[in-house]
Amino acid sequence: MTWERFGYLCRKAAVTCGEREVVSDCLARIEQEAVCGLYGAEMATNSWPRRILDKIGALANREAAVAALTLYGRLKLTRPADELMKFKGITSYLLAIALVYFVVVAIYQLKVAPTFVNAFTNLEVQVPALLVYYRDYWGWLVALVAAVLMAALLVGHRLQQMFQFQAGIEQSPVFKYLLFSNTRVSYLRLIELLQAPLHMYGGPAPGDTAIARHLLAIKTTPMDLATEIEALIAGELRQLLECGQAQMKALTVIVAGLLAASVFIFLFSAYAPLFMLGDAV
């Protein structure tokens, strides 16, 4: 309920802030009221709602700050819980599959493979090449699977944080190097839209972007600015979800392919010696 609390603070501050009261003090006063808890828990310091409120409170122009609060108070913003559950489900699935794989590989490598090698040695039969390969290089194969899986889990976790509106994500290495380009672009557009009312009333401008030009043009018309910002945010959230799901599907396919190839090598190296031992006996 982070955005619900944010909206309540904006709506109440916009109409109750005294003429001589500092906006930041007004927001702090309202947030200390017990009734504020009805709209959700306290906002995390690293969340975008908290950061936006801090920026509004820091505006030098009091009238501009109240105008920004009024516009934010009219927006219907919510955290998309369904999207969070989807990404949690995918990452949990990948983690469960990988854990089973690592356990099976460890048992085979530590218990089964040495038994086969000793049996071939005792029978003076040449050890199968695939068994030798698997025995000598299994660590590299497991490391490759683990690296891809770790990348998928990091991406999934970062996508969850995006839909929780945590601030500063765009500075992380995962965002810069592991997320697809369209996912990064969509998220940056979403953050620009969330800060649009702040930018329009004295906050630091994002530059000459298509979104900024569009909203400034709307501001000069009778169109309702809050409605348009809300519609743009909803559309960008859908776009970000589609991009995130596409990336997670791609990573899932890669992980599944590596696991399938590894399991094939594992099974072949496990059962081929059985037949060869039967022939030797």
Dump pLDDT digits (tens) for 27-46: 999 999 999 999 988 999 99
**pLDDT at residue number 32:** 92
Residue 6, both tokens: 């944010």
Residue closest to 245 by CA, chosen among 190, 163, 188? 163
Q: Which residues of the chain have pLDDT under 50?
A: none
**pLDDT at residue number 109:** 76
From residue 187, alpha-carbon distances to 91, 169, 180 in Å are 20, 10, 11
Compute the mean pLDDT over every residue in the chain, rounded to the nearest whole number. 84
What are the φ and ψ backbone dihedral angles of 167, each rounded to 5 degrees?
A: -85, 155
**pLDDT at residue number 148:** 86
**pLDDT at residue number 139:** 78
pTM value is 0.82
From residue 209, alpha-carbon distances to 34, 188, 200, 230 in Å are 41, 12, 13, 18
From residue 174, alpha-carbon distances to 154, 156, 227, 252 in Å are 7, 10, 33, 17
**pLDDT at residue number 276:** 55
Distance, in Å, from the CA atom of 98 to the CA atom of 101, rounded to the nearest integer, reads 5
